[in-house]
Amino acid sequence: MTGVAGFIGSHLSAHLLAAGDTVVGIDALTDTYDPALKLRNLDELIPHPAFTFHRADLLEADLSRLLDRAEVVYHLAGQPGVRRSWGRDFALYTRRNLLASQVLLEAVRNHPLRKFVYASSSSVYGDAPAFPTAETVCPRPVSPYGVTKLAAEHLCELYGTAYGLPSVSLRLFTVYGPRQRPDMAFARLVAAAQSGDPFPLYGDGEQTRDFTYVRDVVTAMRDAACSRFTGVANLGGDRPVSMKQAITAVERVIGPVSLDPRPGRPGDARHTGADITLAARAFGYRPRTDLLDGLAAMAAHAAIPRRSSIERSPSPNGSA
């Protein structure tokens, strides 16, 4: 698994280990946000006898060694964030989202994989013309980030056509839950409600998002890997809400949120909403977590102070 120390990667690893799988995790621990937070994400994984961690950049790693005996590859590594993908930083997004994916696909193209699972994004749709949005809608990204995620999807399809690589690209719709990246909306909302600091609200608050709980996402990822399905599928929460409604939900769970209204920013889609019919049919996907329950889990996790055991030990198990 690439991106193993990230928000989704750490949850997926725990899910796979609980299912009896062996996980070889790779992560460069980049500074997209505090690497100490990523190290803490590995705390419960490192002691597990079926888990090994390698700190490595995909563009520099000995992938043939790391992929030895792999049956499934989950590719979650990448440079996140819509708003930062403009201008000079686009080179970084190209390197980490596109070039790194190509190098990994090259490494597995002749490998007898059962499945290559790529974590794509709803950002590929941009301002979609229809809601809920099905996979048949022509993608029209409105951010450079979305462009790189779509290009990596195309690479997966190309390697499937040219080399028979069985790949699944899962378009994730606004995943939230404990350990969410600190720059994402719900993480900032929960922090604002708990601290009393103002929450910067971009736009008028009427923009909608299809919030998807992380446990539902990682369950679907393994189900997709175990299925016969190949191609592209949406993973959404099946119940889009506006940012105003999201703020109200956080206030119900935690308490009042002070708002700092700001203008909308380039690259932010006005609305997102997933048609999950294909995923339901292909590998039994069904989101089960209520928004208030998911937010309560986030709030409980955020209230617990943590210090990573890896921070106290300079040599993680199996690190490269």
Residue for token pair 């048949």: 136
What does the block give as tokens for 138? 């022509």
Residue for token pair 């796979």: 16
Within 8 A by CB and 6+ apart from 157, the residues are 167, 169, 231, 232
Q: What CA–CA distance (Å, rounded) separates 111 from 5?
A: 25
Answer yes or no: are the C-beta atoms of 259 and 198 closer than 8 Å: yes
Answer yes or no: are the C-beta atoms of 173 and 272 closer than 8 Å: yes
Q: Catalytic site residue 163?
A: no
Exposure class string for 157-172: b at 16+ Cβ within 10 A, else e: eebbeeeebbbbbbbb
Question: What amino acid is encoded at 80 in this protein?
Answer: P
Question: Given 118, 145, 159, 213, which residue is catalytic?
Answer: 145
Catalytic residues, by residue number, are 145
